[in-house]
Structure 1
Amino acid sequence: MADEKMTKLADPASAIASYLDDLLHTATDSALREEVTVEAPAPEPEPEPPAPTVVAEPAPPEPVTAEPEVEVRHAPEPKPAEQAPVARPDWSEAPFECLIFTVAGLQLAVPLILLGAIHRVEDDSEIRPIPGSPRWYMGMRPDRDQNLRVVDTAEWIMAGRVPENARDNYRFVIRLDNSEWGLACDDVAQSFTLRPDEVRWRSARSKRPWLAGTVIDHMCALIDVRTMADLLVRAEREQHLDLS
C-alpha cells in the first residue's frame, strides 16, 4: 500500500493537477474572502471573584496643598497604512481576444493584443544554450528581426513540480509583447473572446505577480504579459546573467 501511494504522488499528472489546484486556489482565495465574511461570536467574559475586604486603621489627617492643574495632550495615534489594491491591466476593461497555450499539461492564456509573435521550433538546435545559465533559461533563439531569450516556462512557473522531460515537448515559442523574451510551450490553441466578468481577477499579487487572474470556465491561468516580462528582466539583472 505504501509503494502504491508513493507511485501516485510521483505521477506527473498528479503533480500537474496539484499545481493547478494550488494556482486556482491562490487566485480565488482573496476574492472569496471578500464575498463571504463569517465572524465568530466573542466568548462572554467569566465573572471575576469579589475582591477580599481589607479593614485598615484610619491614618492621621495630612495638610492639603493645592497643586496647579497641568493639561496633558496626547499625540494622535498614526492610522495603519492601507494597502492599495493591485490595478487591473488596461486591456481588461473591455472584451479582449485571448489565446490558450499548454505547458506540461497546464493551460495558460495570454491576451492577443500583447502577443508579439508565435515561432515554431522545428529543431532543438534553433535555441542556443548559454553555459552557466539557470534551469529556467533555455537559451537564445536567433531571429532575423529580433533575437529571443527563450524561457523554459515549466521551470519558471512550476519550479519543483516539473514533470520529467517536459522540455522535450516544446514545439512553439510565444514572444511577450515587444520584449526580448519568449515562453516555450507544447501547443497553442485557437483564440477566443473573453469578457472581463468571465475572469476571476486577483486583488493582490504578493505571490505569482505574473498571474492576473483565472478563467474558471477554461480552467486556465491568465498571464499579465508586461509583469511577466518585467520579472524576467529583473531576474536577468539580479542573477548577473550574460545573455547577450
Structure 2
Amino acid sequence: MADKKMTQLATPDAAIASYLDELLHTATSSVKEQEPEKVQLAPTPKTETKARVREKPVQIAKPEPVPVIEEAPQAPPEATVVTTPEPSADSTEPPTRPDWSQGPFECLIFTVAGLQLAVPLVLLGAIHRIEEEIRPIPGSPRWYMGIRPDRDHNLRVVDTAEWIMAGRVPAGARDNYRFVIRLDDSDWGLACDDVAQSFTLKPDEVRWRTARSKRPWLAGTVIDHMCALIDVRTMAHLLVRAEREHHLDLS
C-alpha cells in the first residue's frame, strides 16, 4: 500500500527512472547470481597480467524517424534464421539466450512513455501507424487497448506501458501512442510513441540474463543504450497465456 502511494505521488520522470533502475537491477543481479565463484591465486614473478578487454561502444548515428513499414523486414542474405519450437503452455522459464542472439543482429529501439525498449528486427513483423482510435473491449484488462483492423487479420494491440510498467505508468501515456509494432507473425502488437533508426548489435554488447523467473520477456540490457531488450517470442507467448487466463473473447 505504501508503494502504491509513493507511485501516485511520484512525477512521471521519477516513475520512469525508478522503473528503468529496477529493470537494470533485475538484469544485472540475475547475471551475478549465476556466476560461479572465482578462486584468486597469488601471482608469481613469472605470471603475466592479462590485459583488460575493453568493450568498444557501438557508434550509432543520431536516431532518426524511420518510414512506416507494412511488410515484415527481411533478414540480410548472409544471416541465417534458426527456427526453434515455441514454448509450451506449461513452460515457466524461456531459454536464457534466444536463438537470434548467437551472432550479430539488427535491432530497433522504440519509446514507450519515455522508456526506451529494443526489439530484434528479425522478429519484427511490421510497424503500423495508429490512424484511428483503438477502442477497448468492455471488461478487458487495462493493458489491452483493443483491436486494430488489418488487411489480413485483426491485430490485438497492447498498451505497452500498462503491460510492463503496471502501477508506474505516467498519466496520459496512452495519448502519445503513434505506432503499433507487430510481434513476429503473431496476432499481437505493442503500442509505442515513436521508433528510431535500427543498428547492429553484437552478442557481447548485451548484458544477457541467465534467470527469467521475473519479467521473462526481458532478454537482457543493451549496454551502451541502457535499455531493455525484448525476447519477442516469450512476450507473445505471455500475451497468449494472459488472453486465455482472462477469458478474453478477442475474435
TM-score strictly above 0.5: yes
> 1:58-69 maps to which residues of 2 (within 5 A)?
none
Cross-structure match for 1:239 = 246
> 1:211-226 maps to which residues of 2 (within 5 A)?
211-226=218-233
Cross-structure match for 1:150 = 157
Closer/same/farther in 2, CA of residues 195 and 129 from structure 1, 3 Å limit: same
**In the comparison of the two structures, how many residue pairs are matched?**
193
Q: For each residue in 1:150-202, what CA deviation from the matched residue of structure 2 results, as whole angstroms up to 9, or x when unmatched?
A: 00000000000000010000000000000000000000000000000000000
Secondary structure, aligned partner of 2:16: helix
Matched, 1:88 2:101: no
Could you tell me which runs of 5 or more consecutive residues in structure 2 were left unpaired when the two chains were aligned.
1-5, 40-92
Cross-structure match for 1:10 = 10
Distance (Å, rounded) in 2 between the aligned partners of 1:141 and 1:38: 52
Distance (Å, rounded) in 2 between the aligned partners of 1:188 and 1:115: 12
Cross-structure match for 2:123 = 114
Cross-structure match for 2:26 = 26
Contact 2:123 2:232 in 1 (8 A): yes
Aligned-residue offset at 1:219: 1.4
Cross-structure match for 2:59 = none
> 1:70-219 maps to which residues of 2 (within 5 A)?
86-124=95-133, 127-219=134-226
Cross-structure match for 1:47 = none
Distance (Å, rounded) in 2 between the aligned partners of 1:193 and 1:136: 31
Distance (Å, rounded) in 2 between the aligned partners of 1:120 and 1:86: 32
Aligned-residue offset at 1:33: 3.9
Percent identity over the alignment? 83
Structure possessing the higher radius of gyration over alpha carbons: 1
Aligned-residue offset at 1:122: 2.3
Distance (Å, rounded) in 2 between the aligned partners of 1:240 and 1:191: 37
Secondary structure, aligned partner of 1:218: coil
Aligned-residue offset at 1:32: 2.8
Distance (Å, rounded) in 1 between the aligned partners of 2:123 and 2:163: 20
Contact 2:112 2:160 in 1 (8 A): yes
Secondary structure, aligned partner of 1:243: coil
Contact 1:140 1:149 in 2 (8 A): yes
Structure 1: 4+ residue segments shifted above 2 A: 6-9, 32-39, 84-87
Distance (Å, rounded) in 1 between the aligned partners of 2:104 and 2:33: 26
Aligned-residue offset at 1:37: 4.7
